[in-house]
Amino acid sequence: MEQRPNVGFIGLGNQGGPIARRIGEAGWPLSVWARRAEAMTPFAGIATLSETPEALAAASDILCICVVNDAGVNELAGRVLPVMRPGALIAVMSTIHPDTCVRLAERAAERGVSLIDAPVSGGAAGAEAGTLTVMMGGAETDCARAETVFRCCGRLVVRLGDIGAGQRAKLVNNALLAAILDVTQDARETGVALGLDPAALDGVLAASSGDSFGLRVLSALPALSAFANGARLLRKDVGLLRDACGGAGVSPPPMLDVGTRFLDRATGPA
């Protein structure tokens, strides 16, 4: 029986933690590291708890990074690349700027290490259920290597193109979500202004052609302000897509302004 590659996982937050757990429970040799030592405690028994990202990286054939932003990914890359073995693979599962992934892939290649971007959609619930969408960008052979791992946490695992393509797809998806949230909230508020019962209206929309994932998010909130943390993450992604469009000479689509209006409603202007 062919030996499975060693998988390292950095970033055990509300999405990264469940992803890593599914990888370990699927039988992959797993090592984990997180800035907060207590985040690693639940992995005792299914993973090696690494003392440093360098120690984890040195032992990893495939290293997944799932932290919040570009700064975090860049900082970790600076620490792990010098110790990774030639032939190893980094999968950036964070949602960051596509150009950051391109630059990191160039740095990795200098050391004989491959890098792909592999952001995900589906949130913590999707990670726990193994129903995430994993959007990969990178060389076909590298994406195929990573796909064997991602199958345990993703219902749809797809290569979108070369490095950065996964990030571009994720940013388009999240900007679209922000815009849908805005027009959906408009519809709900209009219905209430016209005298409709809000819960009954949500039920009608959910059973009709106006249904959407955005509606399900909004109807579950006790108040719009309860989405403030999610809105802050979406604001980052809307900004990244706006910048990526500018860098590619593509006119920013109107949905960015629509989505930004919702984010302002949920959190206040940036």
Show Cβ contacts of residue 207 under 8 Å, excluding neighbours closer than 6 positions: none
Q: So what's the pLDDT on residue 269?
A: 76
Is the pLDDT score of 1 beyond 70? no
Confidence grade of residue 2 (pLDDT, cut at 50, 70, 90): low
Choose the catalytic residue: 170, 188, 235, 265. Answer: 170
The answer to whether residue 17 scores a pLDDT higher than 60 is yes
Could you tell me the pLDDT band of residue 252, with boundaries at 50, 70 and 90? very high
Helices (runs of H) and strands (runs of E) counted in the chain: 12, 9
- Mean pLDDT confidence for 250-266: 97
**Extended beta strands in the chain, E state:** 7-10, 30-33, 48-49, 62-65, 89-92, 114-117, 120-121, 132-137, 154-161
pLDDT at 223: 94
Q: By the 8 A CB rule, do 231 and 262 touch?
A: yes
- 218 token code pair: 């909004």
Query: What is the rounded (10 degree) CA torsion for 29, 71, 13, 182?
Result: -130
Distant-in-sequence, close-in-space partners of 3: CB < 8 Å, separation ≥ 6:
none
DSSP per-residue letters across 177-208? HHHHHHHHHHHHHHHHHTT--HHHHHHHHHTS
Average pLDDT for 123-149: 97
| Domain chopping of the chain, boundaries | 7-161, 168-267
Q: What confidence tens digit (pLDDT) does each residue in 23-39 have?
A: 999 999 999 999 999 99
Tell me whether domains 7-161 and 168-267 share a fold: no
pLDDT value of position 49: 97
Q: Which CATH code is given to the segment(s) 7-161?
A: 3.40.50.720
How far, in Å, CA of 180 to CA of 138, rounded? 29
pLDDT for position 221: 96
Judge contact between 95 and 132, C-beta under 8 A: no
List, for residues 57-115, the tens digit of each pLDDT value: 999 999 999 999 999 999 999 999 999 999 999 999 999 999 999 999 999 999 999 99
pLDDT at 268: 79
- For domain 168-267, the question of CATH label 3.40.50.1220 is answered with no
The pLDDT of residue 3: 80
Active site residue 236: no
How many CB atoms are closer than 10 A to CB 160? 17
Give the torsion sign (CA, 102, 103, 108, 109): positive
pLDDT for the residue numbered 173? 98
> Quick check: 8 pLDDT over 80?
yes
Three-state SS for 45?
A: coil
